[in-house]
Chains A and B, each alone.
Chain A
Amino acid sequence: MTDQELARDLGFLEAYTIGLGTMIGAGIFVLPSIAAEQAGPASMISFFAGGLVSLLAAISLSELATGMPKAGGSYYYVNRALGPFFGSIVGWGMWAGLTFASAFYMIGFGQYLLPGLGKYIGFLAGWGEIGITVAALVMAALLTGVNYYGVKETGALQNVIVLTLVGLIVAFLGLGAASGPTIGTFLPPEGWPAVAATIGTVYVTFIGFEVIATSAEEIKNPSRNLPLAMIAAVVTPTLMYVGVMFVSTGTLSIEALADSPIPVADVATEIMGPIGALAMIVGAVLATVSSANASILSAARVNFAMGRDKILINWLNEVHDRFRTPYRAISATGIITLVLIAIGVGIGTLAEVASFMYLVTYALVHIAVIVLRRANPDAYDPAFRIPSVLYPIVPILGFVACIAILLQMSLIVQAIGGVIVVFGILWYFVYARDRALSQSLVGEAIAPEPTTVADGQGRYRVVVPVANPETERDLLRMAAASAHAHDSETAEVVAVNIIEVPQQTSLEQDLTFEETRVERQQELLDSARDIADDLDVGLRTHAIVGRNAGSAILDVIEEENADHVLLGWKGRRSRREHVLGSTIDPVIGRAPCDATLVKLGPEGGRATGDIMVLAGEGPHAPVAARRAREFAEAADEEARLTLFNVQEPGEDDDGLSPQERGEALIEEFVERTGLEEAQYQSRIEVAEDIEGAILDAATGYDTICVGATRTGAVSQAVFGSLPETIGERTDQTVVMARGPEESAMSIRQAIVRRLES
């Protein structure tokens, strides 16, 4: 098993119980009184509709969560798809929603603890509203403490709580149904609008399944378990809620329900007697605590994800050195929860604001699915896709439903929710805009880049690492020349830029100080796109943050199944550990494809004009000729190709003159490269000092193409000492080329040996 798998320890059952544990929370124990007051028995319809809306959200979320199983849930998906503007809104919205929900759960806890248990335990009774608030505050503080200190909670405990709750509710439903509930007037006096408005009130009971998405990184086999757990965690409680409303409104009068702080226990008294009521009270206490606990933990995960994406200061995400908990995020969530309880917003309003924030979130989640489907970024490959019969109906319907419920909610709730949304927007403009790492994919979704035919099927790809805006254009032009020489319909250039982060710093930490580098990276890649448009070549870009540029480039080459990698070189050998440079050495040494290293000469002579090809016996000389021909074809004005060869003076053993030997060699060379007669001239020189002769001749040309040699000096050179000397000693543009095979091994060995020495 890999580490990745070991880090995942939640199976279907665990994920389902986590979802249930949050779903069967205060909602079902507290809301029956509020819901009954607003909509009477018809509030069953409200609960059912809320369940349906959540089911739509669960389906969209399942696709997103399996496509991007990262901490943060909905916030992360929206930020990724719609950019940091909506990311700020949803991040703050979810966080606010979770704190409002925690406060709501805690007041529910207080109601069941004091007026509820007060019937059985004398001193708990008669404390009134103040008592409930104090109990809620104490419990919220306690939960914050528990999570601050990271007190270990086990899966076994979680399962016991959830099983107890499910058992209690099933017993309640069974006995309740057997007692023959009678439903009076089904519709409330206000009619259907009241039923619709009540969906907004009760929606808070349905935000729990989001916990499954925020823990996506911990779920085993997420493609199967995640959607199943989410759907099950929505359907089960929905049925329970509808049942509880049926029993409650059928047993007690609407007035009695509406006045009760502990509606479920009061109903239980009727159908199960005082023991049943006590059991329900204990259940409610457990449920409210477990829901609030999960909400506080989820809120800290949202904070972490926002910090990771630079939408929030990372200070908040410091891990405690002893308890290993995100103690600041936990404390912040806890403090706001305490404030919300203390200021007495009212339990109904707390619930509705939490609902509001989550409805806004899910509306955007539905949009995020559509945007990601259309933009189809490379990294997005969800294991669970919304089945084609349901797409795009589910996200569209889900979005419309969320908006419709939002519009139905009361003015005061819309106002509070609106303030939180505006806060998110202001936060974006004041803080996040200049820092956020993500970019919206909406543009790509509206006008998707043509994704041509299937991958790797004979498409010619040239990978070009770019780092310098001054050389970028020429490198891309040369890469485009190579791409065009192959099937120009589908050939493409892949521009890569890597921000290197030293070993000592974490990738995330370092980025905080590296905003300017991130900006430069974006500018560089943006201008690469402009250049590619000018050159009329397909271009894709990779912006990478990594430890090591060399291995990052090799990863891209492998991932893209590239045919050719083209790099720029400053023209100076490296002083100590490396031959040509710490990035160039491994790439040229290990790339399993054609590799070209370019040292750019003066402008106007970069792979155009007079091009000299060193026609030698080296295994890669023909590759150099191929590159030269590609450049010549691309620079369709009068680029001239010269095949150049130097011979030592004197006749050889076969009695051939140097001139004859040179001609024979070029003839053979042309045969190997497939050049045509009209495409080149040949030039043969005779000299004792071959290297000197080449260097002298080179000054008469604009560009020199040379293949990798395999000389005895291989261990000091990546391309061979001759090409590298030419590169270093001439002012012209020098193109060093090698093919994919043969030399790769020995170059690799050379580098390994070189690095080890």
Chain B
Amino acid sequence: MPESLFRHALVPVASPEDAESTMRALRPYVESAEGDVTVINVIEKAGGAPDKASVEQREDYAHKMFSVARDEMADTDCTPTTEIRYGTDVAETIIETAHEINASAIVFNPRGGNRWVRLLTGDVGLSLVSESDIPVITLPEPNND
């Protein structure tokens, strides 16, 4: 039997809200597979132009996401590992990280948004699905009620 897709999930998160909903959706799968979770936030660098926001500011922001993610998993056996990565191409950086940590899958929560917003801000989800050579799982947001 092939190994569980949730043996070691790499979870890219983009905001505290995203971290919360993704971890909530992921939690039952990780618990039943007794898997590990690594949460990463990629800080997008402009690679030669001034960044859109200060690195320090975005690092603070990443730490907020991580603490939300840890809280969400607090009463399980799994303590997520957290990591900040830097890269000019967010999807590529996520895939590289997945290889580095030998992840079994990349798991994320599709963030919606209309075509224009995606065009302007870059559609990381689409790039992940089309470029990754590691399984990619998108989890629907669980109902809040």
Contact = CB atoms under 8 A, between A and B. Distances in A.
- Tell me whether A and B are bound partners: yes
A483 to B, nearest CB: 38
B145 interface: no
Contacts of A508: 60
Interface string B24-59: 000000000000000000011111111111111111
Contacts of A294: 50
B67 interface: yes
Contacts of B70: 503
Contacts, number: 124
A14 interface: yes
A3 B86 contact: yes
Given A153-B46, A159-B48, A326 B15 contact: no
A322 B47 contact: no
A449 B45 CA distance: 42
A524 interface: no
B136 to A, nearest CB: 21
A263 to B, nearest CB: 28
A322 B111 contact: yes
A584 interface: no
A158 B48 contact: yes
Contacts of B14: 321-322, 324
Nearest to B112: A322
Interface centre among A9, A211, A317 (most CB of B within 10 A): A9
Interface centre among B17, B44, B46, B121 (most CB of A within 10 A): B46
B113 interface: yes
A9 B63 contact: no
Interface in A568-590: none
Interface string A1-42: 001001101100010011000000000000000000000000
A71 interface: yes
B127 interface: no
Contacts of A3: 84-86
Interface string B106-145: 0000010100010011100000000000000000000000
Given A152-B122, A503-B67, A319 B48 contact: no
B53 A158 contact: no
B61 A18 contact: no
Interface string A214-225: 010110000000
A218 B51 contact: yes
Contact of B57 (A14, A155, A157, A304): A304
A152 B71 contact: no
B86 A317 contact: no
Contact of B46 (A154, A300, A304): A154
B15 A321 contact: yes
B99 interface: no
A157 B49 CA distance: 8
Contact of B48 (A150, A154, A325): A154
Interface centre among A71, A149, A154, A506 (most CB of B within 10 A): A506
Contacts of B63: 506
A158 B50 CA distance: 9
A208 to B, nearest CB: 11
Nearest to A320: B15
Interface string A41-71: 0000000000000000000000000000011
Contacts of A215: 50-51
Interface string A159-171: 1000000000000
B86 A504 contact: no
Given A147-B52, A322-B121, 20 more contacts: A3-B84, A7-B45, A7-B55, A9-B45, A9-B88, A71-B54, A71-B55, A151-B121, A153-B52, A155-B47, A157-B49, A158-B46, A158-B48, A211-B50, A300-B53, A304-B54, A322-B15, A324-B14, A324-B53, A503-B70
Closest 4 CB pairs of A and B: A155-B48, A321-B15, A71-B54, A158-B49
7 contacts: A14-B49, A155-B46, A215-B50, A217-B56, A298-B50, A321-B15, A321-B17
Interface of A: 3, 6-7, 9-10, 14, 17-18, 70-71, 147, 149-159, 211, 215, 217-218, 294, 297-298, 300-301, 304-305, 308, 317, 319, 321-326, 503-506, 508-509
